[in-house]
Structure 1
Amino acid sequence: MLGIVVSRADSASERIGEHLRSLADWEETTDDSRPDAEGGGAVYRLRDDEGRPDAELRVFDDLHIYLTGVEEAFDADLDCLAFVSRHAGDTGPLLTAHPTGNVGQAEYGGEDHRFARAAPGALKRVRESLDRYAPEDYDVGMECTHHGPTNLDTPSLFVEVGSDEAQWADDDAARAVARATLDLRDVDPTPERTLVGFGGGHYVPRFERVVRETDWAVGHVAADWGLDDLPEDPETYRAVLRRAFERSGATRVLVDGERSFLRETLADLGYEVVSETWTRETTGVPLALVERLEREVASVDEGLRFGALARDAGSVSESDDVADYTVLALPDDLLAEANGIDHETTLAAVRERSVAVATDEGGTRLAGPAVVPAAVENSSSEDDPVTPLVDALVGVLETTYDHVERGDEAVVVRDRAFDPDLARERGVSEGPAFGRLSAGETVEVDGRVVAPADVHRERERRFSLDALSDTRRTSSKDS
């Protein structure tokens, strides 16, 4: 169930609460077991299509950041807590959201070096919803982890309207926050595909890109100013890092900036430091497959890129049941020829037919090997997963050569090409006529006509496919 916290000490929060109550058919009851100032009194509940309570709204007197014991006020087990609030700053009209906690000293509620339990899945959903509902003149963003409360074991987040009194009194903005908050009623607040973020400024564009553009969520984010506020005591430093992971439900981290000591400490603590490219490349790919291919083929940072077949296997599954696959070395000369013709098309064509490929030059050029589904025993050659891979390379060659034949043992190409020696034999020396002739124009030299056909030779090249059968390596999920 979603719990929603409104504060009477926050005019924007009260306004958002009014819009929340107007947007849905709430049941109003009275809770006499708690003081009105601590969430008692009027209580508002929503039910799902099957009649089960799935949202509850309570109002408190104190500012959200100083509240304690919030979870105790709600009647049912909570899945997520949303604090609707104002945002203060110099950012202009802004709708924003963030988890709470204090990386360093607690200046605005909560305890030093402590974190509330983050709700990365809810943060991802509400960021998307705020973008959809925001009034035209409002920006939408995310912030790093900051301020209290910190003593929350229910996944929680703040959803805010800012950044000054004009916006706090804006009904359109309040309604947008209310609508986005109601979208959290069915969200999984703690998905497995979650990262912790370290580094960067208070507003977190890098981590926000990950949330917007990949299927990864982000839990706690310790900005540079928070990390700089950590004590030099190694034990406390490491304990705070561990808490950020534990309270985010994550084992992977994205670091914004160099911070070599931080990276070394994270690795020493056993956390996986990933890149923004890694989050993009692994989107839609089962993590079990990511882990195996990074272990057995190459890492994403080393150039591993996932293909369409990694994402077409069905919905994202995090189980260990990964299908068998074959790691296939591509013939060097055939690959070099295709790359030389059009390396972008070559990479795109092979990725479309692969589970994954190895690349170089920053992930822009196919380097091999390629990973394909393991061949099915007794299947026809048309079912061989290698066939579409070779067909992809052949397709690139066909854009340049006149004739391309693909056999079982080789790909043979033929074309007619300008031969400078033939041109010279016919009296055409280097110069303008030579250039026109090579471009396919007929020229006249000393009263003699020289046609392009006179100075072209047919050439043939053979690209062996023997390496395909010699270098297959199959990995089994049972190995």
Structure 2
Amino acid sequence: MVNENNITIICSLPDPASVNIVEKLRFMRNWRPVENNCFKAFRFKRFTIVEIEGHHIYQDDLDTRLEECGIGSNLIIFASRHSGKDGRKILTVHTTGNVNEAKFGGRACELAVPAPYAIRNLIRSLKSMCKDSSFEATLEATHHGPSNLHTKSLFIEIGSTRTEWRNDTAGKIVADAILMLHQDEVPVAVGFGGGHYVSRQTKLVCEAGIAFGHIFPNHQLPLLDRDLVKQAFLKSGADFAYFDRKAMKDDVRRNLAGIIHHLGYDVLRESDIREMAGLPFEMYTQFQQKVKKLCTNCKIRFTETIEQELKSACKDHIPAIMFSKIDPELLSMAERVDRNRIEKLIERESIAYLEDENGRFSHILISLTDECARRVAEMLTLECINIIKENYQVRFDADKSQLAVTVRRFSPQRAEELGISRGPLFGKLARGKEVIINGKTIIPDMVYESIEKIIKLKNPRI
């Protein structure tokens, strides 16, 4: 949890949506006046409402002026209207800054300091509370001023026409989201690509354990140079970049990837982000590096229990990681019979496991203690044996520590000897169904053979 002691909400009096939101805030809580010689202000616990006469987008240096008046804060929320030609009933959250000239406040080629954790929490709250209303909620790309602020800031907006700006439901939803604000620390990305309403980034923030700082839409990408990209990463406190690849032109994507890698950051795909499970980025990276040494193309899957253990650990120090394994052939055979049963056993335990590029279980298990890794490997081995016993004829050789599993399988050679060539009838027999050829019925038993498969039961510890 980040420092949330002082949050300032800016109400622009000429802005009807801003006034609407602040009226709802003041109605919902008991605010007291804040004595100062500069602004009309009201406070409730960690929140301070400040009224200004001008428009939000032209408030460069506002945080400095507030501090000089004794109203400093950790976060500035600009409660604002959103204007759009499409007339959508929409609630938005975004950060500010200019990648080129400053037509609407701020300074040219300057980006504000985002509040990624707050933005994440607010858009998730808006999404949830919008479900029973006629409004939709989305993140927007970085745009307009102010940009010259050293305090973290964001805009939360009601759009897109005068009717919506004054809408009581919209005002209450936004006010509720602000009052419920909390800021959990998760990995932070800088986003590239998409339209102004960044749908892919919004989806990731709402469904995965990450936040976004600055987000740049397609039309801004050709304007980004090394200095702007570096500014975006540093001010966002970002760990990595995310590309909306399908929305980006190949040459633009390659150019930006080169800049980002030269600055020392990685570009993660959506699958990588979802795999991260909200763990601190440095911890996840170290975790991934150790795992890749064992299985290059595998993906990590975390059970809920180990996720919580890792999240509660110090983010700068990854806990010791212990590996164990079971016989891959044993696991593969059991998985083909009853994958759900294996999943249920795994999900009850404090472990992570690996899946190969085809989504099948790898035989490697990961835990934070040697005892847990060994115990789960032994339990899983026993469960796999039970699954196989229930579905196959099995002999156990204790002296050799091995299973002999009798498996029936289709024999193409036998089918061909009975006059069945490769084709529809061949396939039907292979699926265990009888066929008729030249008036003769061929049943599956005639073309199946029994073979004995030997599975060595090794010590489950690596």
Q: Give the TM-score range, shorter chain.
A: 0.7 to 0.9
Q: CA deviation at 1:356?
A: 3.0
Given the alignment, which residue of 142, 150, 153 partners 1:153?
Answer: 150
Distance 1:350 1:200, change over 3 A: farther
The corresponding residue for 2:209 is 215
The corresponding residue for 1:21 is 26
Structure-2 separation of matches of 1:286 and 1:251: 9
Q: Secondary structure at the match of 2:11?
A: strand
Structure-2 separation of matches of 1:9 and 1:266: 41
The corresponding residue for 1:239 is 227
Q: CA deviation at 1:103?
A: 2.0
Q: CA deviation at 1:413?
A: 2.1
Given the alignment, which residue of 264, 288, 291 partners 1:294?
Answer: 288
Q: Secondary structure at the match of 1:115?
A: coil
Contact 2:190–2:240, Cα closer than 8 Å, also in 1: yes
Give the TM-score normalised by structure 1: 0.78
Q: CA deviation at 1:73?
A: 2.0
Q: CA deviation at 1:282?
A: 0.9
Contact 2:190–2:241, Cα closer than 8 Å, also in 1: yes
Q: How does 1:377-416 map to 2 (within 5 A)?
A: 384-391=375-382, 393-394=384-385, 397-398=388-389, 400-403=391-394, 405=396, 409-414=401-406
The corresponding residue for 1:181 is 178
Contact 2:142–2:214, Cα closer than 8 Å, also in 1: yes
Q: How does 1:159-198 map to 2 (within 5 A)?
A: 159-184=156-181, 187-188=182-183, 191=185, 193-198=187-192
Unaligned stretches of 5+ in structure 2? 1-5
Contact 2:186–2:278, Cα closer than 8 Å, also in 1: no
Structure-1 separation of matches of 2:280 and 2:20: 43
Contact 1:94–1:139, Cα closer than 8 Å, also in 2: yes
Q: Secondary structure at the match of 1:306?
A: strand
Q: CA deviation at 1:288?
A: 4.9
Given the alignment, which residue of 465, 473, 476 partners 2:457?
Answer: 465
Contact 2:405–2:452, Cα closer than 8 Å, also in 1: yes
Contact 1:103–1:227, Cα closer than 8 Å, also in 2: no
Amino acid at match of 2:208: T
Structure-1 separation of matches of 2:281 and 2:386: 32
Q: Secondary structure at the match of 1:156?
A: strand
The corresponding residue for 2:3 is none
Contact 1:307–1:351, Cα closer than 8 Å, also in 2: no
Amino acid at match of 1:306: R
Contact 2:7–2:74, Cα closer than 8 Å, also in 1: yes
The corresponding residue for 2:44 is 46
Structure-1 separation of matches of 2:31 and 2:200: 38
Given the alignment, which residue of 110, 117, 142 partners 2:113?
Answer: 117
Q: Secondary structure at the match of 1:3?
A: strand
Q: How does 1:100-111 map to 2 (within 5 A)?
A: 100-111=96-107
The corresponding residue for 2:307 is 311
The corresponding residue for 1:375 is 370
Q: Secondary structure at the match of 2:292?
A: coil
Structure-2 separation of matches of 1:301 and 1:225: 37
Question: What is the Cα-based RMSD across aligned positions, in Å?
Answer: 4.0
Amino acid at match of 2:456: S
Distance 1:429 1:85, change over 3 A: same
Structure-2 separation of matches of 1:383 and 1:367: 16
Cα deviations by residue, 1:309-348 (Å, 9 ceiling, x for unpaired) = 64253544313141231264x6454455456x35965984
The corresponding residue for 1:80 is 75
Unaligned stretches of 5+ in structure 1? 35-39, 48-53, 231-236, 473-479
Q: Secondary structure at the match of 1:247?
A: helix
Q: Secondary structure at the match of 1:58?
A: strand
Amino acid at match of 1:188: Q
Distance 1:423 1:59, change over 3 A: closer
Cα deviations by residue, 1:78-121 (Å, 9 ceiling, x for unpaired) = 12111000001115100111011112222111011211110111
Structure-2 separation of matches of 1:282 and 1:365: 19
More helix as a share of residues:
2
Contact 2:116–2:213, Cα closer than 8 Å, also in 1: yes
Distance 1:287 1:342, change over 3 A: farther
Identity percentage of aligned residues:
27
The corresponding residue for 1:324 is 321
Q: CA deviation at 1:167?
A: 0.6
Contact 1:118–1:220, Cα closer than 8 Å, also in 2: yes
Q: CA deviation at 1:396?
A: 5.2
The corresponding residue for 2:95 is 99
Contact 2:204–2:210, Cα closer than 8 Å, also in 1: yes
Please state if 1:249 is matched with 2:241: no
Contact 2:334–2:387, Cα closer than 8 Å, also in 1: yes
Contact 1:197–1:218, Cα closer than 8 Å, also in 2: yes
Distance 1:415 1:181, change over 3 A: same
Structure-1 separation of matches of 2:23 and 2:340: 55
Please state if 1:56 is matched with 2:48: yes
Structure-2 separation of matches of 1:420 and 1:226: 60
Give the TM-score normalised by structure 2: 0.80
Q: Secondary structure at the match of 2:147?
A: coil
Q: Secondary structure at the match of 2:77?
A: strand
Amino acid at match of 1:84: A
Structure-1 separation of matches of 2:197 and 2:296: 26
Cα deviations by residue, 1:275-325 (Å, 9 ceiling, x for unpaired) = 111111111445454223322332999432223264253544313141231
Structure-2 separation of matches of 1:350 and 1:404: 24
The corresponding residue for 1:3 is 8
Q: CA deviation at 1:24?
A: 0.6
Q: CA deviation at 1:358?
A: 4.6
Structure-2 separation of matches of 1:301 and 1:284: 22
Q: Secondary structure at the match of 2:79?
A: strand
Structure-1 separation of matches of 2:195 and 2:390: 48
Q: CA deviation at 1:224?
A: 1.6
Contact 2:77–2:153, Cα closer than 8 Å, also in 1: yes
Moved more, 146-155 or 286-295: 286-295
Q: CA deviation at 1:375?
A: 3.3
Distance 1:247 1:342, change over 3 A: farther
Structure-2 separation of matches of 1:243 and 1:373: 37
Distance 1:338 1:165, change over 3 A: same
Distance 1:455 1:67, change over 3 A: closer
Please state if 1:272 is matched with 2:266: yes
Moved more, 9-18 or 396-405: 396-405
